[in-house]
Amino acid sequence: MSQQKTPHADAGGWVEPRPTALLVLQDGTVIEGAGIGAVGEASGEVCFNTSMTGYQEILTDPSYAGQIVTFTFPHIGNVGTNEEDVETVEIDEAEGVRGVVLAATITEPASWRATRSLDSWLRARGLIGIAGVDTRALTALIREKGMPNAVIAHDPAGLFDLEALKAEAAGLPAMEGLDLVPMVTRDHQGGWTETAWQLGRGYGKPDGSRFHVVAIDYGVKRNILRLLTEAGCRVTVVPATTTAAEILALEPDGIFLSNGPGDPAATGAYAVPVIRELLEKKLPTFGICLGHQLMSLALGAKTVKMRQGHHGANHPVRDNTTGKVEIVSMNHGFAVDPASLPDYAEQTHVSLFDGTNCGIALKDRPAFSVQYHPEASPGPRDSHYLFDRFIGLMEHRNANAAK
């Protein structure tokens, strides 16, 4: 990382090239680099992600709305992009990730699945990026001081109003208290009819369903819906503001609470009363990421802002119910305070990195949730059993109802 420099000519007449992109942090730190992707400016909270693969899925994950993603792995973009690995569902591309920070410049794609380069894909989606950054130093800064707000700017001519960028960065609101779900949730009810990807086939279509699941969309990822469908569910996706009465009118066998961005306490202002009412009906319920946090809030627990968050595909988590350790994908800047959980909520999963809560199950109702993303398959399938657990809850409920 470095401070902004003024181009100058040496004795031989050589002019130092201007940086074509800047990342301006809220404390006034200016990081220079080479611009990639779209031209313009964007702002958000800077986080770092330790994943070595899956960058296209990360950059289209609605849970990253309002954030600028720094990749710690240096070679991002070398497999290109395609039309199949997008995770967003019917949202404006500009409402998701705000920008991307890379160490190395993007190389030409080297994958048979690639249809365009990452740089071209970023431009098409309006995403601004900066390459040539000392991402190790930036990551160390985040680990030490927390995730800062920042403005990312790209101008091919290297012309920036530095003071204006600093002022903008300094004035950005903190993530705490921000409800970002309205940016990424759908505005209408709809079905989902795509199953998981298979080599030689691509994404499939269901050949029947045993259960009807209503998925509340706080920023849901496509692959979650695919795995629910693959498991034998007919999935109806509803907006985040859908009432409990409207959901119950759909006669679901189970409820799914999706992932999403922002401060869960802010989203909880309207989501928690709905979830509480649904839990009272004792419908099988499964939550992921923000859905996990919202379920915990509905039980009376609290969430806290993390300094650096968990963002990566190499996090070890222990399942306390089996003793097994799974390698999971995570993306969250808030965590559930386990000390605030009620006695009837069991802590089922825990991070082996820092001991934070990663899952709960209710002792008196068929409901559970996890902080991580089982559908992201980093293990690659260490966590797919969670979808089977959800199916098992619905099987049990329906079997008892039939007696």
* Residue of 122, 132, 130, 151 whose CA lies nearest to 42: 151
pLDDT of residue 352: 97
Fold entry, domain 21-170: Glucose Oxidase; domain 1 (3.50.30)
> How large is the average pLDDT for residues 206-232?
96
226, two tokens: 């695919």
Nearest CA-CA partner of 309 in 49, 98, 44: 49
Nearest Cα to Cα of residue 178 among 77, 66, 304: 66
CA distance 390 to 387: 5
Distance between CA atoms of 148 and 68, rounded to whole angstroms?
Answer: 10
Active site residues: 289, 373, 375
CATH number belonging to domain 181-402: 3.40.50.880
**Residues with Cβ < 8 Å from 260, sequence gap 6 or more?**
62, 63, 65, 180, 181, 184, 185, 218, 219, 220, 240, 267, 289, 290, 291
- Average pLDDT over all residues of the chain: 93
Lowest-pLDDT choice from 75-79, 205-209, 342-346: 205-209
Separation of alpha carbons 52 and 303, rounded Å: 29
Backbone dihedral region of 166: left (phi > 0), alpha (psi from -120 to 50 degrees) or beta? alpha
| Nearest Cα residue to 44 out of 101, 111, 108, 90 | 101
Task: Report the largest interatomic distance among the alpha carbons of the chain, rounded to a whole angstrom.
Answer: 91
What angle is formed at CA 75 by the lines to CA 73 and CA 79, rounded to 5 degrees?
120
pLDDT band of residue 199 (cuts 50, 70, 90) is confident
**Every domain of the chain and the residues it spans:** 21-170, 181-402
* Average confidence (pLDDT) over 214-224: 97
Position 7 confidence tier, pLDDT thresholds 50, 70, 90: very low
On the question of a common fold for 21-170 and 181-402, the answer reads no
Predicted confidence (pLDDT) at residue 3 exceeds the cutoff of 50: no
257-305: pLDDT as tens digits:
999 999 999 999 999 999 999 999 999 999 999 999 999 999 999 999 9
Per-position DSSP letters for 160-206, written without gaps between them: --HHHHHHHHHTPPPSTT---HHHHS-SS-EEE----EETTTEE---
Q: 212 forms bridges with which residues in the sheet?
A: 234
Distance from C-alpha of 313 to C-alpha of 292, rounded to nearest angstrom = 18
Determine the Cα–Cα distance for residues 236 and 256; give it in Å rounded to an integer. Answer: 10
* β-strand pairing of 202-203 with 197-198: antiparallel
Nearest to 366 by CA among 272, 226, 252, 236: 252
